[in-house]
Amino acid sequence: MSAKPNKNRAADDKAKLDDIERGLAAAEAPPADLLAEAEAEGIALNDESLNATRLRNVWLSVRNNEAAWKKARTLAELSQRAADESRAELAKREKALTEREELAAAMDADLAQKEAELERARLAAREGFADEQRGVLDNLRRKHADLLEQISALEERANTEAQKILAEARTQARQIREEAQHAFHDQVDALSRERAGLYSRESALAERETRLKADLELAEAKQAMLGQQFQVRLGMEVASVQEERDSAQARYELERARREALERERAELRAVLARYGGDPRTANARIDELVEHNQRLLDELSRRPPANEIDEVRSRAARAEEAQAEAEALRRERDQLDRQLRYQLINVGELEVLRDQRDALTAQNETLRQSIKQQRAEWEELQSKVGANDPFPACSSYDRHQDLQEARYLRQPESLAALADDLRHQMAHSADFYFTESDVRLFLAGLASNRLHLLQGISGTGKTSLPREFFKALSGGDDAVEIVEVQAGWRDKDDLFGYYNAFEKRFAESEFTKALYRALLPANADRPMVIVLDEMNLAHPEQYFGTMLSVLENSIGQAGYIDLLTSPLDSLPREFDGNRLPLPPNVWFVGTANHDETTVAFADKTYDRAHVQELPSRHQPFRALSRPETDPVSFDALIDLFDDAANTHEDAVGQAKTLLDDSLRKLFATFGVGWGNRLVRQLDLFLPVVVAAGGTPTEALDHVVATKLVRKLEDRFGVQPDNLDSLADRIDQAWGSFDRTNTPTKTIEKIRKEAGRLRVGFGS
């Protein structure tokens, strides 16, 4: 009886674990109703009467159900891990309970054996041991009851511990979920801090750029001062050379006097030498002979000891001593003469060197005098020439060009749709450049929204040809197009605009500056014109084109100016406003870009301020219609067409903004991508022109989202391929509220292309 409740409890626990396992197995497979719905929809897909809208809705429904199923599966896996841990703990508890049950069964068997023995003892004793038997039996019954109570307590304790383990498992699962949520929020906060750091770095770079501009202006001022200080330094150098010449002349006179004194002293020494026998070497030889003779005499005296000979020897010794003393005196005199002679020879060498230096300085002084005279003549000639020239010779010559001072007759196009079609056929018929209707529409709409265009694509796709042929057809001639080849060494605005030479008092005008000035003249003031920066990203555009980016951004709705000079000059060209060149409103700037190892990447601020368009790798030829030659299109008339389109299609712009704010902003915000008023302002001008030129609102908004927003997802840290696929599906689903007929093809393809590239990069 003691083992039965424990076995029932273990069976109940095992049944609960089996139910959990069956639930997990059911969660690992898609729901039966989802499979049935997918199968039913698959049958419907074969029905020819099913339209495209139903297909998209069915597909989105299946994808949403699949995402929900994946989420349920993840939760089920977490629950399974917790259940596995609980099941292992319960297995341990069950084993302990089984051991205790076996112990209780053994104790029951022992008790039964003891009861049988007692029964036999009772039968044997019957009467004599009846009281003692009853006492022992009562004692055994009390022990049996105690054991049953202990077994019941153990069962209750095991059940309590099992429930406690299950509660701890549920608590751990809940903590794991909370920790995962906290980790996600921490990651979002870290990304926000990183983005704030990037913003601060961008601000620091902007301040550094401002300081560099100030340093550049200071350097230009210093360069101007150098020209003024040239004459002062030249006069100082002339005075220094004259002073050195006078000093050298004085040293020469002093050395000449010293040489004359040395000549006199050398004559006196020669007289002394003549008095003492001429050559000192002869005197030395004579002394040596006397010493040798003296030695022989001494030897003879040693061999001849007689007195008379001794006297003779003494007399000879006395003479020898005198001769030796005389020889010593001559030796000393010889040494002194040698020293004087060497000193005289050194002085003579120094005099020769000084004479050579004097001759060289005299020749150098004469050369410098002639050079100074020639430089002064050249300077006076340059001053006379520069005084008669203009600071901007090319721009001033345009002012004297009669054809550029007469306004042209310009036409007004009927509509943007007719204009786009006419330009497309003109480019194909006259130059064999075949662009699609969408490419021409988007380029035309870009003129309405941005003054700066960025054309991207592989080499040979027509990035330079499109703006050149477009504006030739629009403005009626090659003079409306200026192509500037960007060099890899460009680092500042002087490489683009040119620079002022303070020495020559003339501005070195670049082709860019001359093209801007030509656009201000009466013949071109109402003509659309373009400056093409070929291979714009060979150098950093933010360095050499940074001034233009600021001017274009700050001149929206008002006149813009370019500062070319630090101070006003005389005889400036007619269209200048003081020292500033006005920015012509009828000029657009188009930069072509290749992306390879020789180029640099555009900064986000350049992308955000430009109309970005990527041309296809191949263009399909079509039958071009011959159009009669027409007059150039008026810039003012083109702007009026842009304004009319904005007023006409204001509702479509409002619907596009609603889609951006209500749906797309949340979707892109999960990736840390956002936008401000600049994109909305560009959309206000861009979308109406696309629609007025024959396109659809989806074509315009799809282009803006793909080039402005999806581009920021490329190479972004932490972006996963599955998240990008989910983003593409959700954008496709949300787009139905904006346009049920057309889909955002560019946006979807670009997102899925980036997801595929990331999968290859992740090795999957």
Q: Decide: residue 468, CB within 10 A, 0-12 exposed, 13-18 middle, 19+ buried.
A: buried
Compute the average pLDDT of residues 699-711: 94
For 223-336, list the strands marked E by DSSP.
none
Query: Is pLDDT above 70 for 348?
Result: no
Q: What is the pLDDT of residue 613?
A: 93
Q: How far apart are CA 483 and CA 479, in angstroms?
A: 11
In terms of average pLDDT, the best of 329-343, 482-496, 568-582, 605-619 is: 482-496
Q: How far apart are CA 507 and CA 132, in angstroms?
A: 136
Compute the average pLDDT of residues 653-661: 93
Q: Decide: residue 259, CB within 10 A, 0-12 exposed, 13-18 middle, 19+ buried.
A: middle
Compute the average pLDDT of residues 595-620: 85
In terms of average pLDDT, the best of 75-84, 322-331, 536-545 is: 536-545
Compute the average pLDDT of residues 96-124: 71
What does the CA dihedral 601, 604, 609, 612 come to, rounded to 10 degrees?
A: 50
Q: What is the pLDDT of residue 763?
A: 44
pLDDT tier, 640 (very low <50, low <70, confident <90, very high otherwise)? very high
Compute the average pLDDT of residues 353-373: 80
Query: Is pLDDT above 80 for 688?
Result: yes
What does the CA dihedral 301, 305, 311, 313 come to, rounded to 10 degrees?
A: 0
Q: What is the pLDDT of residue 60?
A: 67
Reported as a single tens digit per residue, the pLDDT across 161-177 is 666 766 676 676 567 66
More confident call, 17 vs 449: 449
Query: Is pLDDT above 50 for 418?
Result: yes
Query: Is pLDDT above 90 for 366?
Result: no
Q: What is the pLDDT of residue 26?
A: 46
For 465-500, the three-class secondary structure string (H helix, E strand, C coil) is HHHHHHHHHHHCCHHHEEEEECCCCCCCCHHHHEEE
Q: What is the pLDDT of residue 751?
A: 93
612, β-bridge pairs? 454
**Residue 102 CA from chain centroid, whole number:** 76
pLDDT tier, 624 (very low <50, low <70, confident <90, very high otherwise)? confident
Query: Is pLDDT above 50 for 49?
Result: no
Mean pLDDT (the chain, rounded):
77
Query: Is pLDDT above 70 for 680?
Result: yes
Q: What is the pLDDT of residue 458?
A: 85
DSSP 49: T
Query: Is pLDDT above 80 for 554?
Result: yes
Q: What is the pLDDT of residue 733?
A: 92
Reported as a single tens digit per residue, the pLDDT across 210-255 is 776 666 666 666 655 655 565 566 566 656 666 766 666 777 677 7
Q: How far apart are CA 291 and CA 297, in angstroms?
A: 10
What does the CA dihedral 261, 263, 268, 274 come to, rounded to 10 degrees?
A: 170
Q: What is the pLDDT of residue 38?
A: 43
Q: What is the pLDDT of residue 454?
A: 95
R_g over Cα of the chain:
55
